Amino acid sequence: MAPVKPSFFKDPASTQNVRAILRVVILLTIAAASISSRLFSVIRFESIIHEFDPWFNFRASKYLVKNGFFDFWNWFDDRTWYPLGRVTGGTLYPGLMVTSGAIWHMLRMISLPVDIRNICVLLAPGFSGLTAFATYLFTKEMKDSSAGLLAAAFMGIAPGYISRSVAGSYDNEAIAIFLLMFTFYLWIKAAKLGSALWGGLCALFYFYMVSAWGGYVFITNLIPLHVFVLILMGRYSGRIYVAYSSWYALGTLASMQIPFVGFLPIRTSEHMAALGIFGLIQLVAFVDYLRGQVPSKQFNTLLRALVILIAIVAFSGLVLLTVTGVIAPWSGRFYSLWDTGYAKIHIPIIASVSEHQPTAWPSFFFDLNFLIWLFPAGVYLCFRQLRDEHVFVVVYSVMASYFSGVMVRLMLTLTPIVCVAAAITVSSILDTYLEIDSPEEPDPDAEHKKPKKEKVKEVGGSPGGFLSSKAPYIGIYSITSKIAVVAAFSVYLVLFVLHCTWVTSNAYSSPSVVLASRMPDGSQHIIDDFREAYYWLRKNTPYDAKVMSWWDYGYQIGGMADRTTLVDNNTWNNTHIATVGKAMASGEAVSYEILRKHEVDYVLVIFGGLLGYSGDDINKFLWMVRIAEGVWPDEVQERKFFTARGEYKVDGDATDTMKNSLMYKMSYYNYQSLFPPGQAQDRVRGAKLPAEGPVLHTLDEAFTSENWIVRIYKVKDLDAFGRDHFSVTAFEGGKKKAKKGGLGGRAAGKRGRRVLRV
Amino acid sequence: MRPLHSRASLCATLLLAASHLGFSLEVPQVYKNTNLLRTIDAAKGYVKETIAVIIENTSDKPQTEYYLPFSVPGSSAVSYVECKDKKEGTPCKAEPVDDATDYPLKYYRITLPATLKPKAQVTLTISAGITGALEPIPAVIGQSDKQFLSYTGDRYAPSAYLTEKQKTKFRAANGEIPDYTDFGEKDVDKSGYIITYGPYDNIKPWSSESKAEKFTVRFEFTLPVIYMEKLERDVEVSHWGNNLAVEERYWMTNNGAKLKDQFSRLAWATTSYYNPPTAAIKSLLFPLRGGSKDAYYTDEVGNVSTSKFRSDSREAILDIKPRYPIFGGWNYSFIVGWNNDLPDFLRKGKGDGYILKVPLLQGPSQSTTYGSVEVKIILPEGATDVTYSAPFPVDKEERLLHKTFMDTLGRTTIKLTINNVVDDLKNRDIIVTYKYSTSAALRKPLVVLASVFGVYLVSALLTRIDLSIGK
């Protein structure tokens, strides 16, 4: 990966065409590399939608191509959140589905009837190629095209981005990162040129971004922040004014067309910064204009006071509006960005999601490898030049670094800027060390060889010049040191590629719907329990059957089993989720009532005890308890699920509340019969289970998958004789014992009666 | 006077009604069956009835048409009827007689291979597949219980003519026969898995007045009763790819005894170690032609990893295991597909003509019945003058254009629908002839070339247009 260096050629102008073609070829190669490195899971498994959320997006895309855009827009989904339903068309970001729908229609137009599933699976890799291109454009604005090519290459294979864009990971982020980078590029372009056209284009892509991902708020705040910092630095200019005003006015109006966003841009605190800066820049522009007209120093001071006054008034107005409730206060998810402990206390449902946890430090290196230590150097290099666009990089770096530390998921927004900064660093190093000619003794020639130098000088001339720009140019004299540095960096680059490949292949390419294991002979064995059970549901239950499960599996049940669910991964109604949590955490008498009231036909639990699959429901059970406790603190108490010594146990020492809970019973029902008496073992929790398994009164086991991962229970109908289910089980248990005993009816009757009394 | 009149009119009305209901088919009494042997084979999940009969022309005119009824009570139906001269082996035509409302009989008109002179005799072998005649009793069984099927049929083989001598053999799937009807006349004989009724002498032609005597046999059936509610089979010919692609989409049900209570994985896992016979569908075996390749097995939620495919030049076997065992009353749907080299199936005819010979129906080796089979034969784009000859009668034929992979017109396609099929009919070839000219073959590359060139041209022009407002 050697960027083209003008210094090889005596006359850069004569090689312009060659370099252009080379750039195109390199970009195409980068795109190909970034696409193919995301195909591990397709090659290893199949073209399948991954994990949880993508299943909803996939289902929505299918709905879109089947029913058309307007039906999609007005989609009320009565097959989720039973019996409430969900106004799906108005509560999703349609960008992703519309994109794949448009691709589907386009391919159809040229007679390529590709299955919508394959489009969905391959959308993220396809867009990663575009992201690489957008990063190239962005970095080119920062330094030059060789840095751009490096940034594109980094972006193409950085694990931090791959983690969200492997084939099959059909989520909003799949297209959002491209849109993020491209919007930023257009913004830089608009700010540089002061062009309303570029500002308008930026607004257009901002609109696309709003339609695609909730993370658009990042752009909504970053661009105003950039402008604000520029104003503070005294770098206000007409260019910034034109760019910002055109972007904000058009972009905000456009973003309000998305039903899910609606009036949020003028009503919520998250968007107020952009509005405030819009007001501020009008004032600044006005002042600037007046300053041009009235060159009186006193007048300027007066104006400055006026500006400060207006700003204070506006801010207090904002505070007032927030307090009175016209503007919604910060949402809980936002608070959790400032206080990492906030969610755990106030909104357990957010804290229960693993991707909302704070980032562990090793994961920075894991996701970014050597880019992470080149990143500060790149930011430093931006400081050295500090044109308007470099301020953007600095602001972006600071913000994204903070947020990525707070939430694992936001590593994604950090990755692009790390790639850009690292590319600037590597490119600068290579620029310096790949110069074949050693510089002469300091003379005007050395100055001449580095055209970049002159630019720096120009910037240095502007107000706020920096020490660094005045530093004398020092070339590299020794060939050895050149070779050493270049060789070291080549090794780093190679290691980076190896690391990325390894991480992608091992950490980010598992569909999690399908698990892979090895047979004794080394061949791959696929554990396909999820699809086995979902498909059974799909084929062998009535179409309108209601399936209750923990919300994690809601989207998958909707997508694969095509059955009505009570709760799903769109966690919009906490009470409903808590109801399901309560049903799982309570004893059968309470649960059965909840199940009947919600017309539940089947209950689905995930149990990993046989196989050692650790992501099962018993391990998630405490979250169900916590969420239920949040709504019914009197009926469900987390404490009761811990033993006296404060341990969470499933074996013989488990508390009665635990043993009587529906979740425990469903997980371990009949499980002990798989083992010799008294030997039942839970392989996830390493616990030895009691010899006597739980008894279910109100549910029937309907289906258990091959490795017992998915267990489906059918909710019993009311007893035909009007008895409650406990006495029915007791009665039948008694009868069985009588038959087995085969003695006089008297003894059996006694035994039966005793059971009844219990 | 008056009552008499009304009685007469009532009689007339009744007669009229009877002629509509009962006697719409008037079979001329021109034959007698000298000897008739009926074999009812229930070894598969459906009934195969074979009738070997010596017929004699009793009229004084030469005859060509012979009528034969099959009893199809309840939900049962005749899938196919085939006939041949036993001695010569020449096939003869058998076609259903329309609108024979002589329930529960379904008449077939058999055209004799040669005109039968008065007093002459001919021996015919007529075989028929009858679906829906086997009923699981008990209808609901436990997961590891034995499955029993029951067949109810006429004691005397129904015939439109006098039968001098006849015998019925019932062949059960298994020697385990707990119940069978014994008329108490020492006419029943059970040996192994075959039950014989008869011989009976001088049985009169079937008529709706005579009370039909029925026999019932209940026997163990250790295999699942596989029923494909629907099969869509696409056979796609590609001259450019030199490939014949086959894809089959199945909607499958187990029509055996339904599963009592619920499915217990525990019991299933513990018993499956010693692999007992089960009424659940555990796997399906697709024997394919030699040289088949690239086989796949998927369903609505993606690839199913539990399949094996073995192929060499002589034979190929696709062995698939459904995601879950399919018990009685359970459903499953799946897709299998594979490729073949085209030269094995296609021959060049005169001029631009081509002759394609492919099996109309393939399918699993296990006994199977099909509710409806839709076969699409997709010929190359621009193929004309398509004719075909099917190995068995087709219920519906449609011609359409199938548009895929960069087609401009769409590929010439014939879609054949056949209802109520049994797997006796599989692996029989349909012959399709069509014309396909070189210009039609070159159509696609030229169109692609032209459109790519067009895109370049337009983009080259667009880049040369200067849209800027001011300099």
Residues of B in contact with A167 (CB under 8 A): none
Contacts of A269 (CB under 8 A, 6+ apart): A322, A327, A328, A329, A330, A334
> What is the rounded (10 degree) CA torsion for A711, A717, A720, A723?
80
CA distance B404 to chain A (A): 6
Residues of A in contact with B306 (CB under 8 A): 528
Delimit the domains of chain B by residue range. Answer: 23-220, 226-445
Structure confidence at residue A451 (pLDDT): 46
Structure confidence at residue A446 (pLDDT): 43
Q: Are A577 and A624 in contact (CB under 8 A)?
A: no
Structure confidence at residue A148 (pLDDT): 94
> What is the rounded (10 degree) CA torsion for A304, A305, A310, A314?
100
| Closest CB to A111 among B301, B332, B403 | B403
Q: Are B431 and B357 in contact (CB under 8 A)?
A: yes
Structure confidence at residue B50 (pLDDT): 93
Rounded Cα–Cα distance for residues B322 and B336 (Å)? 12
Q: Are B316 and B289 in contact (CB under 8 A)?
A: yes
Q: Do A704 and B263 touch (CB under 8 A)?
A: yes
**Secondary structure of A156-167 in HEC code, one letter for each residue:** HHCHHHHCCCCC
Residues of B in contact with A531 (CB under 8 A): 301-302, 323
To which residue do tokens 């003379």 refer? Answer: A443
Query: What percentage of chain A exceeds 90 in pLDDT?
Result: 40
Q: Is A695 helix (H, G, I), strand (E, B) or coil?
A: coil
Residues of B in contact with A110 (CB under 8 A): 406, 451
| Closest CB to B331 among A112, A534, A540 | A540
Q: Is B276 helix (H, G, I), strand (E, B) or coil?
A: coil
Q: How many helices (H) and strands (E) does chain B have?
A: 3, 31
Rounded Cα–Cα distance for residues A158 and A371 (Å)? 9
Mean pLDDT, residues A441-468 taken together = 45
CA distance B253 to chain A (A): 10
Q: Show the CA angle centred on residue A544, arms to residues A543 and A549, nearest 5°.
A: 105
In this complex, is the C-beta atom of A708 within 8 Å of any C-beta atom belonging to chain B? yes
Question: Band of the pLDDT at A654, cuts 50, 70, 90?
Answer: confident
**Residue in chain A nearest B329 by alpha carbon:** A540
**Residue in chain A nearest B404 by alpha carbon:** A111
Q: Is the pLDDT higher at A333 or at B163?
A: B163
pLDDT in tens, chain B (471 residues): 344 454 545 444 444 444 444 445 678 888 989 999 999 999 888 999 999 999 999 888 898 889 998 888 888 889 999 998 888 888 888 888 876 566 678 888 899 888 888 888 899 999 999 998 899 988 899 888 889 999 998 888 888 889 999 999 999 988 888 889 888 888 888 888 899 997 888 888 887 766 778 899 999 998 899 999 999 999 999 998 899 999 999 999 999 899 888 888 888 888 877 778 888 898 999 999 888 989 999 998 888 888 899 988 888 999 999 999 999 889 999 999 999 999 999 999 888 899 999 999 998 999 999 999 999 999 999 899 999 999 988 999 999 999 888 888 889 999 999 999 998 898 999 999 999 999 988 988 999 999 999 999 999 999 888 777 765
**Residue in chain B nearest A55 by alpha carbon:** B301
Residues of A in contact with B272 (CB under 8 A): none
Q: Is the pLDDT higher at B26 or at A457?
A: B26
Rounded Cα–Cα distance for residues A282 and A310 (Å)? 12
CATH T-level assignment (fold) for domain B226-445? Immunoglobulin-like (2.60.40)
Q: Are A163 and A39 in contact (CB under 8 A)?
A: no
Mean pLDDT, residues A223-248 taken together = 92
Residues of B in contact with A113 (CB under 8 A): 403-405
Q: Are A420 and A135 in contact (CB under 8 A)?
A: yes
The one-letter amino acid at A357:
Q
Q: Do A674 and B269 touch (CB under 8 A)?
A: yes
- Residues from B contacting A (CB-CB < 8 Å) are 261-266, 269, 299-306, 323-324, 330-333, 403-408, 451
Beta strands, E only, B262-362: 284-289, 293-299, 302-303, 307-311, 315-320, 331-341, 346-348, 353-359
Q: Do B265 and A111 touch (CB under 8 A)?
A: no
Q: Does the pLDDT at position A681 exceed 50?
A: yes
CA of residue A733 relative to chain centroid, distance = 51
CA distance A46 to chain B (A): 7
**Residue in chain A nearest B468 by alpha carbon:** A197
Instruction: Please write the tens of the pLDDT for every residue from A717-750.
Output: 887 777 777 878 777 776 554 444 333 334 333 3
Q: Does the pLDDT at position A453 exceed 60?
A: no
Rounded Cα–Cα distance for residues A44 and A114 (Å)? 21
Question: Band of the pLDDT at A332, cuts 50, 70, 90?
Answer: low
| Closest CB to B262 among A45, A531, A701 | A701
Q: What is the DSSP letter of A3?
A: -
Q: What is the DSSP string of B387-426?
A: EEE-SS--SEEEEEEE--TT-SS-EEEEEEEEEEEEGGGT
Mean pLDDT, residues A444-461 taken together = 43
Q: How many residues does chain A have?
A: 758
CA distance A732 to chain B (A): 15
Q: Does the pLDDT at position A653 exceed 90?
A: no
**Residue in chain B nearest A671 by alpha carbon:** B266
CA of residue A179 relative to chain centroid, distance = 15
| Closest CB to B331 among A46, A539, A714 | A539
The one-letter amino acid at A317:
G
In this complex, is the C-beta atom of A526 within 8 Å of any C-beta atom belonging to chain B? yes
Structure confidence at residue A748 (pLDDT): 38
To the nearest 10 degrees (0 to 180), the angle between helices A588-597 and A574-585 is: 140
**Residue in chain B nearest A48 by alpha carbon:** B302
Domain B23-220 belongs in CATH node 1.10.3470:
no
Q: In what order do the strands lie in the sheet with A546-548?
A: A564-565, A546-548, A602-606, A710-715, A699-704
Rounded Cα–Cα distance for residues A751 and B288 (Å)? 61
Per the prediction, chain A carries an average pLDDT of: 84
Structure confidence at residue B253 (pLDDT): 93
Rounded to two decimals, what is the model's pTM?
0.87
Q: What is the ipTM score, two decimals?
A: 0.89
Could you tell me the two tokens for B105?
């009989």
Instruction: Please write the tens of the pLDDT for every residue from A113-161.
Output: 899 999 999 999 999 999 999 999 999 999 889 999 999 999 999 999 9
Give phi and psi for A382, each to the nearest 5: -65, -40
Mean pLDDT, residues A72-76 taken together = 90
Question: Band of the pLDDT at A507, cuts 50, 70, 90?
Answer: confident
Structure confidence at residue B243 (pLDDT): 93
Structure confidence at residue A456 (pLDDT): 41
Mean pLDDT, residues A68-96 taken together = 89
Structure confidence at residue A745 (pLDDT): 38
Rounded Cα–Cα distance for residues B320 and B334 (Å)? 10
